[in-house]
Structure 1
Amino acid sequence: MATWDDVRRIAAALPETAEPSPHEWRVGDKLYAWARPLRKGDLEALGDAAPDGPILAARVPDLGARAALLADDPSVYFTTPHFDGYPAVLVRLELIGPEELAELVTEAWLSRAPKRLAKAFLAERG
Structure 2
Amino acid sequence: MATWEDVRRIALALPETGEKLSWGTPQWHVKGKGFVWDRPLRKSDLAALGLAAQEGPVLGARVADEGVKQALVADDPAVFFTIPHFDGYPAVLVRLDRIGLPELTEVITEAWLLKAPRKLAQAFLDGR
TM-score with structure 2 setting the length: 0.95
Q: Aligned with 1:23: secondary structure?
A: strand
Q: Which residue of 2 aligns with 1:116?
A: 119
Q: Which residue of 2 aligns with 1:88?
A: 91
Q: Which residue of 2 aligns with 1:27?
A: 30
1:2 maps onto 2:5 in alignment:
no
Check the 8 A contact 1:60/1:87 in 2, yes or no. Answer: yes
Q: Aligned with 1:89: secondary structure?
A: strand
1:14 maps onto 2:17 in alignment:
no
Given residue 6 of structure 1, which amino acid in structure 2 is its aligned partner?
A: D
Stretches of structure 2 lacking an aligned partner (at least 5 in a row): none
Q: Aligned with 2:127: secondary structure?
A: helix
Stretches of structure 1 lacking an aligned partner (at least 5 in a row): none
Identify which of 38, 46, 59 aligns with 1:43: 46
Shift of 1:29: 1.2
TM-score with structure 1 setting the length: 0.96
Shift of 1:23: 2.4
RMSD: 0.8
CA distance in 1, matches of 2:106, 2:54: 22
Query: Cα deviations across residues 67-118 of structure 1 (Å, max 9, x unaligned)?
Result: 1111110000000000000000001100000000000000000011111110
CA distance in 2, matches of 1:105, 1:59: 8
Deviation above 2 Å: which 4+ runs of structure 1? none
